[in-house]
């Protein structure tokens, strides 16, 4: 019996060994995967405008005129919107009248002082009232200036947040404005490459939307490393102006002289 058991065990092992190639054919085969491209040399980039801002309302009121429109190119100090300023203008008139009255009172006090009819204290108090009224007029003038929204720099309107005749509160976003100046290239690179980077270093920028490559150079290196991501932020400038490029486009950048 033991011999028969041993023979059976040997036969089973031989059958398994014979069937192994069939299993190997059905099993997933390991394939040679080519090494990935050097990700340290290729960096994601974003094109950003030199200046961009969201213009907000500095007063509560109703928009009576909306000149800025989506995509419109505007010059510096061009009017974009105007509010109903009846109340602000009325306050400005009241402030101007109060200032005129305070000055007249001061002149009268000075004349009486020459006649020794009033003391120095009354003249000083009248002078303080003039200063107070002058400040009130300056504040009223500043509030009146909020009635008109002007473009702080030349550029294009990227978004309009409001509609004509809409009543808004102070701080309500009105327009998104981007400058017409040169575009900036923003990118983050691994902090291990920091020792090889310096302003003026060339790089090649590939933009997805155009499918083209553009020469650029590093202009700014951030003074702080992101300890979590272990990257450092850079800004680069394109070597020339390209009309087809606009803010928001993205792509990749490569340092051609980097042989790491």
Residue 24 confidence (pLDDT): 43
Alpha carbon distance 187, 223 (integer Å):
14
Distances (CA, A) of 215 to 51, 116, 201, 253: 22, 82, 11, 10
Structure tokens at 82: 């105007």
Tell me which residue has tokens 């509010």. 83
Residue 36 confidence (pLDDT): 39
Q: CB of 169 within 8 A of CB of 57? A: yes
pLDDT by residue (tens digit) across 6-65?
555 545 554 544 544 444 444 443 333 333 334 444 689 999 998 999 999 999 999 999
pTM of the shown model: 0.67
pLDDT by residue (tens digit) across 112-123?
988 888 899 999
Q: How many CB atoms lie within 10 A of CB 41?
A: 17
Residue 113 confidence (pLDDT): 87
**H/E run at residue 14:** helix 2-26
Domain definitions of the chain by residue range: 42-50+181-254, 53-179
pLDDT by residue (tens digit) across 183-240?
999 999 999 988 889 999 999 999 999 999 999 999 999 999 999 989 999 999 999 9
**Predicted confidence (pLDDT) at residue 104 exceeds the cutoff of 50:** yes
Residue 255 confidence (pLDDT): 87
pLDDT by residue (tens digit) across 61-86?
999 999 988 889 999 999 999 999 99
Tell me which residue has tokens 């203008």. 89
Fold of 53-179: OB fold (Dihydrolipoamide Acetyltransferase, E2P) (2.40.50)
**H/E run at residue 64:** strand 61-66
Alpha carbon distance 203, 206 (integer Å):
10
Give me the chain's average pLDDT, please. 84
Alpha carbon distance 125, 112 (integer Å):
14
CATH superfamily of 42-50+181-254: Efflux pump adaptor protein, beta barrel domain (2.40.30.170)
Residue 68 confidence (pLDDT): 87
């Amino acid at each position: 019996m033991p011999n028969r058991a041993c023979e059976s065990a040997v036969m089973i092992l031989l059958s398994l060994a014979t069937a192994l190639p069939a299993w190997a054919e059905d099993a997933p085969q390991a394939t040679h995967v080519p090494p990935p491209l050097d990700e340290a040399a290729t960096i994601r980039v974003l094109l950003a405008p030199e200046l961009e801002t969201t213009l907000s309302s500095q007063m509560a009121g109703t928009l009576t005129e909306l000149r800025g429109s989506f995509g419109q190119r505007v010059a510096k100090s061009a009017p974009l919107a105007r509010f109903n300023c009846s109340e602000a203008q009325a306050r400005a008139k009241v402030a101007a009248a109060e200032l005129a009255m305070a000055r007249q009172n001061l002149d009268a006090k000075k004349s009486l002082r020459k006649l020794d009819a009033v003391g120095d204290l009354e003249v000083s108090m009248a002078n303080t009232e003039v200063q107070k009224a002058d400040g009130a007029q300056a504040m009223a003038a500043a509030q009146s200036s909020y009635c008109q929204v002007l473009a702080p720099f030349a550029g294009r309107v990227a978004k309009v947040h409001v509609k004509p005749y809409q009543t808004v509160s102070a701080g309500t976003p009105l327009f998104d404005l981007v400058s017409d100046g040169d575009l900036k290239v923003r990118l983050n690179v691994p902090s291990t490459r920091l020792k090889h980077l310096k302003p003026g270093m060339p790089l090649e920028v590939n933009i997805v939307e155009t499918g083209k490559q553009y020469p650029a150079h590093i202009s700014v290196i951030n003074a702080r490393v992101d300890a979590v991501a272990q990257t450092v932020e850079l800004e680069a400038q394109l070597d020339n102006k390209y009309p087809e490029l606009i803010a928001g486009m993205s792509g990749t950048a490569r340092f051609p002289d980097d042989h790491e």
